[in-house]
Amino acid sequence: MSQEYRYIVRIMGTDAQGTLKTFYAVSQVKGVNSSLANAVLKKAGVNPDLRVGLLTESDVAKIEDVIRDPAKYGIPAWMFNRRKDSDTGKDMHLLSADLIFKIKTDIDGAKEIRSWRGYRHAYSLKVRGQRTKTTGRAGKSLGVKKKTIGQKPAAPAGGK
């Protein structure tokens, strides 16, 4: 069976170059980290060292099916990115636009109830307890203006 090499393969709405190994291509999908990508490839029965351009359509479909519903294939809940959802209480795994939207609504909800975390988000401050004395100063005044050595101070604007 002769199979053609594909230079771009679409996996879960993300374009992956055909020269990448399958492991790295699956990791490029928004919401899939390296440990989940490894588990997905094991459950799908695909070699992680194989180049993506050599995958068949059925292999890509199997990978996408495992990514869509990892619980169905026995992947443990601690690998999901949305455990014990605040609205439903279920363990979920969100991808791409759904993940971005859910994070945004969580932050907006924290701002709305005026929690400390929401306050920090609202004022563009560090949220997770990092120090702020020396880092995170973008957009604010930086440093102190120094006088140049050897110059006389400017004359007052009064005229004399």
Number of Cβ atoms within 10 Å of the Cβ of 111: 16
- Quick one: DSSP state of residue 35? H
Half-sphere exposure of 9 (CA within 13 A, CB side): 28
Task: Give the model confidence (pLDDT) of 93-140 as tens digits.
Answer: 999 899 999 999 999 999 999 999 999 999 888 999 888 888 877 765
Tokens encoding 73: 């294939």
The two counts, helices (H) then strands (E), for the chain are 5, 2
In terms of Cα–Cα distance, which of 46, 39, 28 is closest to 71? 39
Cβ-count burial 112-139 (b if 16+ within 10 Å, e if not): eeeeeebebbeeeeeeeeeeeeeeeeee
Is this prediction's pTM over 0.85? no
Q: Quick one: pLDDT at residue 1?
A: 45
Contact between 67 and 32 under an 8 Å Cβ cutoff? The reply is yes
CATH number listed for the domain at residues 8-79? 1.10.8.50
* pLDDT above 90: residue 152: no
CA terminus-to-terminus distance, the chain: 96
Domain residue extents for the chain: 8-79, 95-130
Which DSSP string corresponds to 53-100? GG--HHHHHHHHHHHH-GGGGT--GGGSSB-S-TTT---B---HHHHH
- Kindly report the average pLDDT of the chain as a whole number: 87
